Amino acid sequence: MMATLAALVGCGVQKFTTLSPDSFQESIKDADIQLVDVRTAEEYAEQHIPGAVNIDVYADDFVDQCLDRLDKGRPVAVYCRTGRRSASAAEQLRKAGFKKVLNLEGGIVGWIESGKPVNRAPANP
């Protein structure tokens, strides 16, 4: 699996890895990966990657929710709409002690543009 972009801190220590939609899709096939949609509940309800749980990065208790619901010892894959919020979420998770954090390049927009599957809300009659 090839990372298209790695986020680094000034001293060169990797904080999290940003992956292309293809690489991200391969990564989340691993049963050990915890897939998290960090958008709002409304955005998640409209469409999300199958198997994702929703934890809103804008919630005041985002990190606490992650610590309660996720295993710090297992890899976490995060995404949002375009990749900005998930990059912030990934950074927060690494600071909270999560060992391996993956971020989806281009977010769900890039995912959909790459032809990847999503669960969509039923159309209103």
What pLDDT shows up at residue 8? 41
User: 52, 80, 89, 102: which is the annotated catalytic residue?
Assistant: 80
> Residues 12-41: pLDDT tens digits?
445 899 999 999 999 999 999 999 999 999
> Residues 58-116: pLDDT tens digits?
999 999 999 999 999 999 999 999 999 999 999 999 999 999 999 999 999 999 999 99
Looking at per-residue pLDDT, the higher value among 108 and 8 belongs to 108
Is 80 designated active site?
Answer: yes
CA distance 61 to 119: 26
Q: Is residue 52 situated within a structural domain?
A: yes
Q: Domain tally for the chain?
A: 1
Confidence band for 125, pLDDT divided at 50, 70 and 90: low
Q: Is residue 6 situated within a structural domain?
A: no
What pLDDT shows up at residue 1? 39
Q: Is residue 100 situated within a structural domain?
A: yes
CA dihedral 54, 68, 64, 106 (to 10 degrees): -30
Q: Is residue 1 situated within a structural domain?
A: no
Q: Is residue 125 situated within a structural domain?
A: no
3-state helix, strand, coil in the chain (%, to 5): 30, 20, 45
Determine the structural domain holding residue 72 and report its residue range. 15-119
Contact 14, 8 (CB under 8 A): yes
CATH number at residue 99: 3.40.250.10
